[in-house]
Amino acid sequence: MAKTITLTSAIDGFAFTALHAEAQGPRKGGVVVIQEIFGLDQYVQADVARWAAKGFEAVAPSMFDRQEKGFIADHDPKGLETGVAYMTANGLDNPISDVQAAIDYLAPRGPVFIVGYCYGGVIAWLAAGKATGLSAAASYYGGRVAQSLGVAPKIPVICHFGRKDAHIPADETKAAINAAYPDLPVYIYEASGHGFNNDGRPDSDLADAELARKRSVELFEANGAK
């Protein structure tokens, strides 16, 4: 079962909370799980539990603690508005600093990986180029990845997008990523829209979600997960 821990940012000394779950069975490594803009909601909690069940010690930082401690929002217009406002206020330095703190927490016990969803998908991409101590990254439906290609990944990265995503043009995004990084795997899931890792959401297809998870685990296993 996930518990709440407190980590400290390496840049500004800010103390923030995070969900933490121990690996079940033999430990394969650590994984930093980066939320959507809605905070550490039930979908993040389920994802942390899922990664733990797959043998990864999981840490999910509460990315907007500087704006509101323990922020969790519904997936509705009000939640979206507040999440976007907090994302904007938080900037890009704070998230990478908090990710680095999570990496540093996990690193003494083995290789560390990162996975992120929507907002977190972009943060995972940026962390792959800016953070230290990561071994691989999986970015899910990061809407601003195509605008962040100037940050070159230092580690292996894969990207996941849904064909039916009304917010992210899948083919154009894949083309942009592969124009800059021809060998970087970009997967498009035909039956899914935005947020398809969130089981039970309208745009989620379980087969697509499970395939994306399998590919992410395989990436991590190919880069140090035991």
Across 173-185, average pLDDT: 98
What contacts 221, CB < 8 A, 6 or more positions away? 28
Q: Residue count of the chain, please give it.
A: 226
Spatial separation of the C-alpha atoms in residues 200 and 10, rounded to whole Å: 36
Band of pLDDT at residue 221, cut at 50, 70 and 90: very high
Residue 104: burial class (beta carbons within 10 Å; 0-12, 13-18, 19+): middle
Q: What is the pLDDT of residues 18-76, one digit of tens each?
A: 999 999 999 999 999 999 999 999 999 999 999 999 999 999 999 999 999 999 999 99
User: For residue 130, what pLDDT is reported?
Assistant: 98
Task: Report whether pLDDT(90) > 90.
Answer: yes
User: For residue 18, what pLDDT is reported?
Assistant: 98
User: For residue 203, what pLDDT is reported?
Assistant: 86
User: For residue 75, what pLDDT is reported?
Assistant: 94
Q: What is the pLDDT of residues 186-205, one digit of tens each?
A: 999 999 999 999 999 988 99
- For the beta carbon of residue 132, count every other beta carbon within 10 angstroms: 10
User: For residue 11, what pLDDT is reported?
Assistant: 80
Task: Report whether pLDDT(133) > 90.
Answer: yes
Bridge pairing between strands 29-34 and 15-21: unpaired
User: What strands, in cross-sheet order, belong to the sheet with 15-21?
Assistant: 3-8, 15-21, 56-61, 29-34, 112-117, 134-140, 157-162, 186-189
Spatial separation of the C-alpha atoms in residues 2 and 52, rounded to whole Å: 9
Question: Where are the domains positioned within the chain?
Answer: 3-222
Band of pLDDT at residue 222, cut at 50, 70 and 90: very high
Task: Report whether pLDDT(164) > 80.
Answer: yes
- Considering only the top CATH level, what class is 3-222? alpha beta
Spatial separation of the C-alpha atoms in residues 196 and 179, rounded to whole Å: 25
Assigned token pair, 162: 């849904």
Bridge pairing between strands 3-8 and 15-21: antiparallel
Spatial separation of the C-alpha atoms in residues 137 and 114, rounded to whole Å: 5
Spatial separation of the C-alpha atoms in residues 220 and 214, rounded to whole Å: 10
* Global model pTM greater than 0.85: yes
User: For residue 77, what pLDDT is reported?
Assistant: 95
Spatial separation of the C-alpha atoms in residues 30 and 25, rounded to whole Å: 13
Task: Report whether pLDDT(1) > 90.
Answer: no
| Contact between 104 and 10 (Cβ < 8 Å) | yes
Q: What is the pLDDT of residues 105-124, one digit of tens each?
A: 999 999 999 999 999 999 99
Band of pLDDT at residue 139, cut at 50, 70 and 90: very high
Q: Indicate the average pLDDT of the chain.
A: 97
Please calculate the CA angle 165-118-115 and round it to the nearest 5 degrees: 125
User: For residue 131, what pLDDT is reported?
Assistant: 97
